[in-house]
Structure 1
Amino acid sequence: MILKNKYFHISVFLVLVQQLTLGASTFFLAKAGAEIAEGNTLNSIYLLTYFFVFALVSYIASSLTAINTTIFTNCLWKKYILMIFDQVKNKQNINLKKNKQNTTAWLIGEAPQTLREVAGYMIGTISVYLSVITFLTVFYFTIGAELTALISASLLLSIIFVSILRRKIEDYASSSQTTRLMVNTFIPSFWDAQLNVSAKSKLLTKSKIEFENLISNNFRMVERYTILEQFLATLPIIISVIILISAINNMKITPELSGMLLALLPRTLQFFGSVHSISIANSKFIYLRSKYKRLLEYVGELYNLNLKGAINNNKILIQRLNDNKMFSVDELLDIVLNDTNTHKGRILIEGENGAGKSALLHLIKEFCTNSILMTPDTKFSYEYYEGSTGQNQQKEIETVIQSDHDLFLMDEWDSNLDKNAQTRYDKLLDELSSRALVLEVRH
């Protein structure tokens, strides 16, 4: 999903241009400093001109990278949403209200945030590694191999420490995702408590405490990871600074070398920032890899309902309304799945709560491709409609009835409707049953 994306390839190319031109500008800056120290002012002006030109190209490439990375992230989010829905398509054993709520919270909360982090991390890490490589290359050709080797060795510490603390980083990644999802899914309940409960109610107090506990747990995980991340990032810089100070005080300084050192000083500070970023990137690789892996495996975490096991044959009554003929669950399944000649009429499914009426409709939906299932929680109309619960229900019924299907599975279609509306839509379903089969669950 990432490595084959064309916007990723464009970003990598732009980052390469950015860092190569930045390295070239650093090289010309060092050479200009050496020329100034030697008293060759005219040559230094030419070299400084090259420095500014390459620096300008580098900053333009940086801006283009930022724009392209935004496009890259948006493309990833869209493809991820389509991928998830392609994986869950017509899997009625996971077509549950809780899964719908969790997936909604996941796709608009955790997923885009993780994808932004992963996209930014990949482009940023490539950039910062190229920055360090180009700087060390310039350092090697201007200051010398010994000092360059010592600074390079300090970077290995970050990799070593990250390897040691790998398990801890993975735990923080998983915990931060889980606790954030819990906060996201709790928001609707918190909304209801804040708007529908008395200010003095114990229920409101309990809701506030639960929300504070959930969000505090999430903050705690993120803060612990940040502390660990910054420890791993700062240690190599401390060692690099000690090496530089010690080397400068013990090496023989010529006018040419002093000129280059002074010219490279701003870039050296930028290099320390890159070292800091690399150290963070090394620890973040494990952190984001764990989060991204969970993104790809999300559908497997959804609750699976055993549809056949949820159906209690003895507690479900099935009646064809056209002639009042009664059917067993097995007979109904045989009619729907095998007897195409009877795909007209209305069949009523009744039973007590928990008998498996809704599970039966879901089971039928899984095997019948040209069918549509309407439940009290389904919403086929994409436009926002500011009406009562009953009015919204009517809008959904009309959308369903107007669709082109052979089998209509109506789960409690009359909920929230007044008597007049029930009568009206009952007649419309009668008309619909003349060209299609309507299975309906009603209490």
Structure 2
Amino acid sequence: MFLNDKRFLCALAFTLSQQLLLATSTYCIASAGIALTNGNINHTLENISLFFIFALMAYISSSAATLLSTRASNNIWKIYSTATLLTATESVQYASEKNKQSISQWLGAEALPTIAHACEFYLEMVSVALNIILTLAVFYVAVGWEIASSIAASLVISFALVMLLRRRIERLAGTMQHRRQDALLSIEPAWTCSMFGNRKMRTAGLRILDEKTHRYFREINKYALLEQVVACCPIIISTLALIAVFQFTDLFRASIAGALVALLPRSLQVFGNVHALSVYLSQFFLIGAKLRNLEGFSAGLEKHQQMHEEPLLSVSVWDSLTQKEIRPSDLIQKLQCTGRYWITGENGSGKSTLLKIIKDSAADAILITPETYFLDAGSGLSTGQRRIKEIENVLSMAPDILMLDEWDANLDEGNCGKIDRLLDEASRRMLIIEVRHLRSGGHPSAGRSSCDPSTG
């Protein structure tokens, strides 16, 4: 996902450059300390100047890496979102309100921050690891292997701890993602219960939200504790090892003492980076598990597998021109026709399923449901005005087939009449198929339908 993005690879290159420049600046300040101990002021000043020059170049490289990282994460999220939406809309079998809400929450609340965090995290981890390795190399050259090896040992311990806890970290990652998703999806029901329900419903809705967020935060707290244990143990061990080196060896000469004093601020930074790298090592598996969950998200979507096999015996289809009833299978054979057809039947009889079957067979058909809005109609419009604007917009696209699922739900007689006239006119040039909510007289109103005999 990340290594295929050129911006991210360039950011990695700038990160490497930054750490090489910082290591060079560290060597310069160590050389300045040695020169000062030996009384060579000119050499001291020269190395201090080089220290600032290399440090400045390192910070410029860091800024370039950050800019490229931001652009890379944006591009990676766009590619992932497009791929997820294409997969989730490749078949009407995925058409469900649950999938729509899950995808919306997942792409916005999970994928976007996860990808942005991962992009930043990988660069920081590489930066910290390089900083430690290159700084230890400078320590080895400037003050000897004893101090360098004491710090290096902490890295080995940290890596061993993380590997021991890897499986637990990965399980926590999956649990946190799913519980976060559950908590976010419970916000809307809690709002609905609080706004429109009675006191009992309000209390129940808020209680469910509280329970789900509590479970999510509990997993976060578990991981935070685990992470800090992994981070602190190596620092404690390496600090004790360094004190032992200082107290029980005759390591120090005047020049080494000067270099070590000059490097003390960098020593503190190295300890901070060892602590950070310990955290990053645990997060490496956490983020890896999250990214694998991103890749597997589409496979877990709800799918109406048996859609084409469901019996539609309780569904009636009416030809609005002849006022005659036809079989659902006959309607599917008339997709090259123009005209207007009504679908009727009891709740749960399969009316909406029939529309989805037709949409699955005719990819360029347009299906409007009560929850479907193709454009932002703006505020201040009534339900009827917004629905009229939606249908006018769709008709302007001149589809061959337009299907409407209960477009007249919650509309008054005036707006129903306006839309009815729009559809009747449009049926002269396209196929209109409707599931109606309101019907008068028990039969479809007068309309027209025609089909070229050559197309059946």
TM-score range, shorter chain: over 0.9
RMSD (Å), alpha carbons: 1.5
Amino acid at match of 1:406: D
Mean CA deviation greater in 410-419 or 326-335: 326-335
Contact preservation (8 Å) 2:155, 2:234: yes
Question: How does 1:267-282 map onto structure 2 within 5 Å?
Answer: 267-282=266-281
State the match for 1:222 in structure 2.
220
1:408 aligns with 2:402: yes
* Distance in 2 (alpha carbons) for counterparts of 1:394 and 1:424: 8
State the match for 2:209 in structure 1.
211
Instruction: Give the superposition deviation at 1:309.
Output: 6.0
Three-state SS of the structure 2 residue aligned to 1:304 is coil
State the match for 1:121 in structure 2.
121
State the match for 1:388 in structure 2.
382
Write the deviation string for residues 22-65 of structure 1: whole angstroms up to 9, x where unpaired. 10110000111111112212210111000111111112222222
* Distance in 1 (alpha carbons) for counterparts of 2:389 and 2:345: 27
Three-state SS of the structure 2 residue aligned to 1:64 is helix
Contact preservation (8 Å) 2:154, 2:274: no
State the match for 1:100 in structure 2.
100
State the match for 1:7 in structure 2.
7
Contact preservation (8 Å) 1:307, 1:363: no
Unaligned runs of at least 5 residues, structure 1? none
Write the deviation string for residues 404-434 of structure 1: whole angstroms up to 9, x where unpaired. 3101111111112110111111111111111
Instruction: Give the superposition deviation at 1:367.
Output: 1.5
Contact preservation (8 Å) 1:313, 1:329: yes
State the match for 2:443 in structure 1.
none
Amino acid at match of 1:106: W
Three-state SS of the structure 2 residue aligned to 1:270 is helix
Write the deviation string for residues 49-86 of structure 1: whole angstroms up to 9, x where unpaired. 00111111112222222222222222222222111112
More helix by share: 1
Contact preservation (8 Å) 1:310, 1:356: no
Amino acid at match of 1:53: I
1:331 aligns with 2:325: no
Mean CA deviation greater in 142-151 or 372-381: 142-151
* Distance in 2 (alpha carbons) for counterparts of 1:439 and 1:252: 89
Contact preservation (8 Å) 2:146, 2:245: no
Contact preservation (8 Å) 1:319, 1:326: yes
Instruction: Give the superposition deviation at 1:235.
Output: 1.2
Contact preservation (8 Å) 2:194, 2:201: no
Contact preservation (8 Å) 2:99, 2:302: yes
1:233 aligns with 2:231: yes
Contact preservation (8 Å) 1:397, 1:413: no
State the match for 1:349 in structure 2.
343
* Distance in 2 (alpha carbons) for counterparts of 1:387 and 1:101: 24
* Distance in 2 (alpha carbons) for counterparts of 1:369 and 1:393: 23
Work out which of the residue numbers 351, 360, 363 in structure 2 matches 1:366: 360
State the match for 2:445 in structure 1.
none
* Distance in 2 (alpha carbons) for counterparts of 1:60 and 1:13: 13
Mean CA deviation greater in 1-10 or 257-266: 1-10
Instruction: Give the superposition deviation at 1:262.
Output: 0.6
* Distance in 1 (alpha carbons) for counterparts of 2:4 and 2:52: 35
User: What is the TM-score of this pair, normalised by structure 2?
Assistant: 0.92
State the match for 1:378 in structure 2.
372
Paired positions, count: 436
Instruction: Give the superposition deviation at 1:310.
Output: 7.3
Instruction: Give the superposition deviation at 1:327.
Output: 1.7
Write the deviation string for residues 255-295 of structure 1: whole angstroms up to 9, x where unpaired. 10000111110001110111112111111111111111111
* Distance in 2 (alpha carbons) for counterparts of 1:354 and 1:160: 58
1:283 aligns with 2:282: yes
Amino acid at match of 1:329: P
Instruction: Give the superposition deviation at 1:328.
Output: 1.6
State the match for 1:296 in structure 2.
295
Amino acid at match of 1:281: Y
Amino acid at match of 1:110: E
* Distance in 2 (alpha carbons) for counterparts of 1:416 and 1:432: 23
Instruction: Give the superposition deviation at 1:307.
Output: 4.8
Amino acid at match of 2:244: S
* Distance in 1 (alpha carbons) for counterparts of 2:382 and 2:295: 38
Change in 2 beyond 3 A, CA 1:309/1:202:
farther
